[in-house]
Chains A and B, each alone.
Chain A
Amino acid sequence: EADIYQTPRYLVIGTGKKITLECSQTMGHDKMYWYQQDPGMELHLIHYSYGVNSTEKGDLSSESTVSRIRTEHFPLTLESARPSHTSQYLCATRGGETQYFGPGTRLLVL
């Protein structure tokens, strides 16, 4: 089973602040993903990576950016948070044909 960690788990922040959501994994998986999930809605892929120095935009347009400098880490950054960014953000890795998910970060932008 993959170990995937996301910090913070909950974040309340004011409009205009820069934030970084951390995602780390200990399984050495190359493929990593970020999903956004609004309450009661489906997950939407916003970013993914096939390995170090690889990042791609997902199906849902997002103002966030990601980086993949190390295999273990796949942080997501919002340069200027807005209330429309309020959502749950889920990080995942892929091992074989299965995706493994972290516990998520619930973000509230006031």
Chain B
Amino acid sequence: KQEVTQIPAALSVPEGENLVLNCSFTDSAIYNLQWFRQDPGKGLTSLLLIQSSQREQTSGRLNASLDKSSGRSTLYIAASQPGDSATYLCAVEDGDKLIFGTGTRLQVFP
């Protein structure tokens, strides 16, 4: 059974820092991996999707990498801003369903 783990569970950093969020999964036979952002009390917003054949995807200050063989993905956030404060979730696609990690709660303070 696929399990997804995210480390750290929470992170608090000053504005301007570059940071890395980690996601690991137990079964490397995934179709794709997505990173989402969730603001308090709201739904999820898709940030990046990495196909299983890809190694990374970039969008603005965000870069996500995927290493299927080791069962790991990282989300790199450059020059963090207070507006980046949210919970970041990774999810792997298993068949047609997403399996989520518990998320990393990020706080960026001015």
The interface of chain A, by Cβ under 8 A from chain B, is 4, 6, 31, 33, 40-45, 48, 58-59, 90, 92, 94, 97-104, 106
Instruction: Tell me if A103 and B97 are in contact (CB < 8 A).
Output: no
Instruction: Tell me if A101 and B43 are in contact (CB < 8 A).
Output: yes
A38 to B4, CA, bound (A): 17
Mark the stretch among B11-19, B58-66, B99-107 that contacts chain A. B99-107
Instruction: Tell me if B101 and A42 are in contact (CB < 8 A).
Output: yes
The interface of chain B, by Cβ under 8 A from chain A, is 4, 32, 34, 36, 41-46, 49, 51, 89, 91, 93, 96-103
Instruction: Tell me if B96 and A31 are in contact (CB < 8 A).
Output: yes
A33 to B36, CA, bound (A): 16
**Chain A min CB distance to B41 (Å):** 7
Q: Contacts A43-B89, A45-B97, A104-B41 hold; do A99 and B102 have CB atoms under 8 A apart? A: no
Q: Which residue of B lies closest to A45 (CB)?
A: B97
Find the residue from B51, B91, B100, B102 having the highest chain A CB count within 10 A: B100
**Within 8 Å CB of B51, what residues of A?**
97
Q: Which residue of B lies closest to A103 (CB)?
A: B43
Q: Contacts A58-B97, A98-B34, A98-B49 hold; do A42 and B42 have CB atoms under 8 A apart? A: no
A6 to B101, CA, bound (A): 23
**Within 8 Å CB of A48, what residues of B?**
96-97
A45 to B94, CA, bound (A): 12
Instruction: Tell me if B102 and A41 are in contact (CB < 8 A).
Output: yes
**Chain B min CB distance to A91 (Å):** 8
A72 to B32, CA, bound (A): 26
Instruction: Tell me if A45 and B98 are in contact (CB < 8 A).
Output: yes
A40 to B103, CA, bound (A): 8
Instruction: Tell me if B103 and A103 are in contact (CB < 8 A).
Output: no
Instruction: Tell me if A102 and B49 are in contact (CB < 8 A).
Output: no
A51 to B99, CA, bound (A): 21
9 shortest interchain CB distances as A-B pairs: A101-B43, A101-B44, A43-B100, A42-B100, A42-B102, A103-B43, A98-B46, A104-B43, A102-B43
**Within 8 Å CB of B4, what residues of A?**
42
